[in-house]
Structure 1
């Protein structure tokens, strides 16, 4: 059994993770929230207490300040807090330093996104091989459980792929991961999670098609799909974290990711990009100061966590999977619907943060119980999916399965470049 959790990061996802861990602290033990800005951690704690979510009041819920790029400081913090499970929900720039601290201290590591270097955007696939997977051998040698990408996408969608391969199909032809937010936050323009990381995704579109990596232009391929509950929405072929591990671990001919964007979002994004404001490359201003335009844009846009109070509508994230079972063609859509207003009522969050945060807390519970404490580095699809899917269903993210759903009619995708 593992106990005591250190949450590194105090953004929107960290907020949800803290609530859900507090609601299960009889299993998880003491909870420490750490960030460069301790006030953000304290605000989350105030929210947890305001909602009366600390299940066992004899367990501690407290904060610390830490620079997550400082490995010795992280090592000291892990030891001082006696944490046995470290949840990294900070910017993806810190993955390697947090992972290194966990390896050095022999504790569990988990994150929600692939590692990024500030000066490298949309690296060539399989991206995990550049960073996390290089530490696989060390994790196995030291018996370190490291669970990569345990949010929703990546995360839950990976578990659905494993479940489909295990129970629903004998062979899989195509997996299309579809993510649409049919909600409204009422702002002129905003991103639902860190704008800096969000905009960096939209540079290249790498997809796994016919068992090879194929490159396409951003927002160039659109499909209108009739989703359960939220109805018809446009989705665009987009590169995404989970493709980089699913291509290795799931036996499918093609795996693609599609994200929903409205016309207003695309128009504003195009203008910002065309004038250079989504660039991560520093520019020198008249006073001689160098700053990346993307960081300025991040400072100007609403904090994603501030969107929660007025958010209405729902999200739908699902996997449309096509293959065969018992020599017969089969198509299923396995999905979740999440309501923004309900998330705010429960944990004072919007649904994007909620869908990313609940799975992390569920994974921590499974590790604490020993069910997912595998003592090696894994991506989510390498783990037994059923306990996880069952648990998140009880924690606010139920899974639904449609047999023979509305067909997802993706066009033939011709490559600009292959790997």
Structure 2
């Protein structure tokens, strides 16, 4: 049994994770929240206390300041706090540093995203092989549990793949992971999580089709599909973390990831990218000073944490799996719907952070009770999905299922056609007014 939890990071996802961990501190023990900015950690603690979420008041809930790129300092913090489980919810640039600290101390490691280097974006697949997987043998030799990508996507959607294999299909043909946010935050333009990490995802598309990697331009393959609860939504083919491990661990002909974007987002993103404001590489100003355009753009956009109080609407994330069961064709949508307002009422967060912040705490509980304390490095789809899904059902992320008649109008067609056709059908139409910029984001009036 492992106890005492260290949460590294103090953004929106860490905020949710800390709330959920506090609700189960009788299982997890003491909880330390650590980040470069101590006041943010203290703000999370105040939120937990305000909502009365500390289940066992005899257990400690406290904050520390840390630069998690400093491996010796992180080692010292793990030892000082006697933390046996570390959830890394800082920026993806920290993954290798925090993992190294866990390797040195013996603490279990959990993260929610693939490692990134500041000067590299959308690395060639399988991306995990560049960083995390190189340390798998060391985890095994030292008996250290490291669970990679244990958020929602990656994370829960990986478990949905394992669930499909274990219970619902004898043979899988295709998996399409769909992620839609049908909510409204009331800002002209904002990202739902760290803008820097958000924009770095959309440089190019690596996807797994016909059992090999294929590359496409960003936002050029579009589909419109009728989702449960949130209705008809536009989605675009994208690359994403989970594809890099699922292509290795799940036997399927094609595994694709689709994300929802409205016309307004596509328009603003395209302008920013075309003008160079999304570049992750430094540029030199006339006075000789160097700046990174993407970091400047991030500084100008709203902090995702500030979106939560006024957010309305719902998210829908899940997997459409096609294949065969008992000799018959089957198409099944395994999915989860979250409500922004309900998330705020519960933990003072919006649903994007909520869906990413709850799963790593469920993973920590499974490590603590031994069910997922596998003493090696794994991606989520390599683990038994049943206890994970059962905990998520209890913790605010219940899973739903929708049977779809194969090849019916309700079926999802993720087959990518020739690029000329896809580009022609992916164009967007936007409404712009220089005198009233918010006209672009106001709901359209019915005729």
Query: Does the alignment reach a TM-score above 0.5?
Result: yes
Deviations 1:135-183 (A, max 9, x none): 0000000000000000000000000000001110010000000000000
Tell me the TM-score normalized by structure 2.
0.92
Measured in 2, the distance between the counterparts of 1:415 and 1:101 equals: 45
Instruction: Note if 1:193 corresponds to 2:193.
Output: yes
Measured in 2, the distance between the counterparts of 1:96 and 1:410 equals: 34
Question: 1:244 maps to which residue?
Answer: 244
Deviations 1:282-334 (A, max 9, x none): 01123322110000011110000110000000000010000001111000000
- Any idea what SS the aligned residue of 2:273 has? helix
Q: CA deviation at 1:414?
A: 5.1
The structure number with the bigger radius of gyration is 2
Tell me the TM-score normalized by structure 1.
0.98
1:76-225 residue pairs with structure 2 within 5 A? 76-225=76-225
Q: CA deviation at 1:413?
A: 4.1
Instruction: Note if 1:410 corresponds to 2:447.
Output: no
Q: Is the 8 A contact 2:278 2:297 kept in 1?
A: yes
Q: Is the 8 A contact 2:226 2:232 kept in 1?
A: yes
Question: 1:258 maps to which residue?
Answer: 258
1:11-410 residue pairs with structure 2 within 5 A? 11-404=11-404, 406-410=410-414
Q: CA deviation at 1:411?
A: 3.6
Structure 1 stretches lacking a partner, 5+ long: none
Q: Is the 8 A contact 1:214 1:415 kept in 2?
A: no
Q: CA deviation at 1:184?
A: 0.2
Count of equivalent residues? 416
Measured in 1, the distance between the counterparts of 2:105 and 2:325 equals: 45
Deviations 1:22-65 (A, max 9, x none): 00000000000000111110000000000000000000000000
- Any idea what SS the aligned residue of 1:336 has? strand
Report the aligned-residue RMSD: 1.0
Aligned pair in 2 of structure 1 residues 40, 97: CA closer, same or farther (>3 Å)? same
Measured in 2, the distance between the counterparts of 1:240 and 1:393 equals: 25
Measured in 1, the distance between the counterparts of 2:288 and 2:77 equals: 37
Aligned pair in 2 of structure 1 residues 84, 415: CA closer, same or farther (>3 Å)? farther
Q: CA deviation at 1:410?
A: 2.3
Query: 4+ residue stretches of structure 1 with deviation over 2 A?
Result: 410-416
Structure 2 stretches lacking a partner, 5+ long: 421-447
- Any idea what SS the aligned residue of 1:316 has? strand
Q: Is the 8 A contact 2:221 2:416 kept in 1?
A: no
Q: Is the 8 A contact 1:215 1:415 kept in 2?
A: no
